[in-house]
């Protein structure tokens, strides 16, 4: 008996053969693409390794006790994470914490964590882990603990919520949680390992530390990371003895990323084919520091003010390769309380000379403008201004950078052209610090009032008043905020330059699209 086959029940042999060939081609293409540095064809990057060159090697990985800039640059944001982070306009933004509610009296803060947080070993980063970490930070006085204020209690209310209760308001608390005081450590894992923070890390960031030696730190991707996974599988932080050695390595192609501190190095590398130089605002501030001590001519407010009129701060800021923007007060763009004060002392030689005429010629005794070789050209220009415009007998004294920093810190100078790190230097205009010998009752009252505010926004607004008062009083002559530089091979990108000398964010390091 014959059966009738339905139409299409049999597949022609040539169709089967074609399908097999097509599948084989797709598999071959997949393997070919994956063979390039381990990259996946849809843009993944599961085994790519990078080398990042720096010059400021930390002496220890123990970020709890090591206050060096280099350890913060390498580890915070990469290996360790903070509860909060800095947002636009120096606001406070979510990070490990998703949201928070302050009490109206500023004495209690309730925090809610993000869902699914884990440490690098995969264990839960929950509210009890946060409380254990904060309690250790306070009890053991880790770096930055004093910024948390007068804490009465830290406790978790459930797995995802915790509270901080204060004995008195601390409007800087939220800002403190964006920094060292807000780092969360896996206390339980560290205790099991003998609390060896100097050689091992216990964080929750997109990377973990695989090892360190006398010249490098190796970061490996944290595949347990709760957020967007890092693109690179391994990043080696290679440390060089100086800027010249760093530049040589970058030009030789040994580095995927380099972080020079000096503009001259960035300019050198910008001329090299295959390298791209990016920059952003950093924390450093370049200024003519004025010693306000009684024996100094700058103890007189009018002398300080006429000095600021005589110096072309705007012109200097525009022409210096390391300048990101003019700065006219003690608080920079990346700090709470910044306000644009560039219109307070516009360049006006005639006005400065007129104010100078109030003083008899013999009023000013010879003094020196102290600086280092890096700032020689600008210091020469300012010294000429003192002599030719203001008839103030000034001579230039150039010393090495370490000697300059020591003398300025000790107040052993009359005026000095110097770059300060800028993180907390504004506080030196509150307490009569030996660096400036500056005291102003109104500025002190405003600062104390800012600290008494119950909330961060109120504090930030009052600090803007502080910034203006200190600038109007010409406590020193600020010139500009310095750039931070990031140099990359033209084939890679994803490393933000802003504030990179303190926070080097490497999770986005990837092939440039």
pLDDT digits (tens, 9 = 90+) for 358-404: 999 889 999 999 999 999 999 999 999 999 999 999 999 999 999 99
What is the residue-averaged pLDDT of the chain?
Answer: 91
Architecture of the domain made up of 282-483? Roll (3.10)
Smallest Cα–Cα separation from 437: which of 296, 255, 335?
296
Tokens 């042999």 — which residue? 13
173-217 pLDDT tens trace = 999 999 999 999 999 999 999 999 999 999 999 999 999 998 999
The pLDDT assigned to 6 comes to 37
What topology does CATH give the domain 207-281+484-511?
Answer: D-Maltodextrin-Binding Protein; domain 2 (3.40.190)
pLDDT score, position 89: 86
Tell me the sheet residues that pair with 44.
Answer: none
Q: Which tokens is 495 given?
A: 């490393």
The CA-to-CA distance between both ends of the chain, in Å, stands at 67
Q: Which CATH number fits domain 58-193: 3.90.76.10, 3.20.20.70, 3.40.50.1000, 3.60.60.10?
A: 3.90.76.10
325-342 tens-digit pLDDT: 999 999 999 999 999 999
In this structure, of 33-42, 143-152, 332-341, 480-489, the range with the lowest mean pLDDT score is: 33-42
pLDDT at 34 over 60: no
Q: What is the pLDDT of residues 113-128, one digit of tens each?
A: 999 999 999 999 999 9
| pLDDT of 307 strictly over 50 | yes
Q: Where are the beta strands (DSSP E) in 260-322?
A: 275-290
**What does the domain layout of the chain look like in residue ranges?**
58-193, 207-281+484-511, 282-483
Q: Is the pTM of this model over 0.75?
A: yes
What pLDDT band is residue 145 in, cutting at 50, 70 and 90?
very high
> How many Cβ atoms sit within 10 Å of the Cβ of residue 211?
12
CB within 8 Å of 272: residues ≥ 6 apart: 250, 251
Tokens of 359: 């003083």
Q: Going edge to edge, which strands form the sheet with 151-158?
A: 97-102, 108-113, 161-166, 151-158
Distance of CA 159 to the CA centre of its chain: 32
Q: Identify the three-state secondary structure at position 463.
A: helix
Q: Which of 351, 336, 352, 333 is nearest to 478 (CA)?
A: 333
pLDDT of residue 404: 97
How far apart, in whole angstroms, are the C-alpha atoms of residue 55 and residue 246? 7
DSSP state, residue 374: G
Least confident segment among 84-98, 176-190, 285-299, 419-433:
419-433
Name the residue among 112, 174, 58, 164 with its Cα closest to residue 502: 58
d(CA 76, CA 171): 23
Name the pLDDT band for 19 (thresholds 50, 70, 90): very low
Q: Determine contact, residues 337/451, Cβ cutoff 8 Å.
A: no
Judged by DSSP in three states, 109 sits in strand
Check pLDDT > 80 for residue 16: no
Confidence of residue 318 (pLDDT cuts 50, 70, 90): very high
Tell me: pLDDT of 413 over 70. yes
Tens of pLDDT, residue by residue over 231-282, are 999 999 999 999 999 999 999 999 999 999 999 999 999 999 999 999 999 9
pLDDT in tens, 457-509: 999 999 999 999 999 999 999 999 999 999 999 999 999 999 999 999 999 99
CA distance 371 to 379: 7
Is residue 14 over pLDDT 80?
no
Q: Which pLDDT value is given to residue 46?
A: 58
Measured CA distances, 428 to 329, 423, 438, 505 (Å): 13, 11, 8, 30
Buried b (16+ CB within 10 A) or exposed e, 87-101: eeebebeebbbeebe
pLDDT surpassing 60 at residue 42: no
């Amino acid at each position: 008996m014959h059966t009738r086959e339905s139409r299409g029940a049999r597949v022609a042999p040539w169709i089967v053969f074609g399908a097999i060939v097509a599948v084989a081609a797709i598999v071959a293409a997949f393997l070919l693409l994956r063979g390039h540095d381990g990259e996946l064809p849809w843009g993944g990057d599961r085994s790519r390794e990078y080398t990042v060159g720096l010059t400021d090697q930390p002496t220890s990985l123990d970020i709890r006790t090591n206050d060096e800039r280099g350890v913060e640059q390498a580890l915070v944001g990469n290996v360790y994470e903070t509860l909060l982070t800095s947002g636009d306009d120096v606001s406070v933004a979510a990070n490990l914490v998703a949201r928070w509610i302050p009490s109206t009296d500023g004495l209690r803060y309730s925090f809610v964590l993000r869902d699914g947080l884990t440490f690098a070993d995969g264990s839960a980063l929950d509210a009890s882990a946060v409380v254990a970490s904060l309690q250790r930070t306070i009890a053991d006085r880790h770096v930055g603990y004093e910024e948390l204020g007068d804490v009465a209690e830290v406790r978790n209310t459930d797995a995802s919520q915790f509270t901080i209760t204060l004995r008195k308001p601390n409007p800087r608390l939220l800002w403190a949680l964006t920094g060292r005081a807000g780092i969360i450590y896996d206390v339980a894992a560290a205790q099991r390992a003998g609390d060896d923070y100097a050689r091992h890390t216990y964080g929750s960031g997109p990377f973990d530390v695989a090892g360190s030696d006398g010249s490098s730190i190796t970061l490996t991707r944290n595949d347990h990371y709760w957020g967007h996974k890092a693109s690179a599988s391994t990043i080696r932080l290679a440390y060089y003895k100086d800027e010249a050695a760093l530049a040589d390595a970058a030009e030789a192609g040994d580095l995927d990323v380099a972080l020079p501190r000096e503009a001259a190095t960035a300019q050198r590398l910008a001329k090299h084919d295959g390298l791209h130089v990016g920059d952003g605002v950093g924390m450093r501030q370049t200024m003519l520091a004025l010693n306000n001590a009684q024996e100094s001519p700058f103890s007189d407010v009018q002398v300080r003010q006429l000095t600021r009129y005589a110096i072309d701060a705007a012109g200097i800021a525009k022409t210096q390769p390391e300048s990101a923007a003019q700065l006219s007060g003690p608080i920079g763009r990346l700090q709470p309380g910044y306000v644009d004060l560039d219109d307070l002392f516009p360049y006006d030689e005639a006005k400065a000379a007129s104010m100078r005429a109030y003083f008899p010629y013999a009023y000013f005794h010879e003094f020196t403008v102290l600086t280092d070789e890096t700032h020689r050209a600008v210091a020469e220009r300012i010294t000429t201004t003192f002599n030719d415009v203001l008839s103030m007998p000034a001579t230039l004294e150039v010393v090495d950078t370490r000697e300059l920093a020591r003398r300025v810190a000790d107040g052993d100078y009359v005026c000095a052209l110097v770059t300060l790190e800028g993180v907390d230097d504004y506080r030196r205009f509150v307490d009569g610090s030996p660096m400036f010998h500056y005291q102003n009752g109104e500025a002190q009252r405003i600062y104390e009032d800012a600290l008494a505010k119950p909330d961060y926004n109120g504090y930030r607004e009052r600090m803007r008043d502080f910034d203006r008062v200190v600038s109007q009083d010409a406590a020193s002559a600020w010139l500009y905020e310095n750039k931070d530089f990031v140099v990359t091979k033209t084939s890679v990108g994803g490393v933000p330059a802003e504030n990179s000398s303190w926070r080097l964010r490497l999770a986005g390091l990837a092939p440039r699209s």
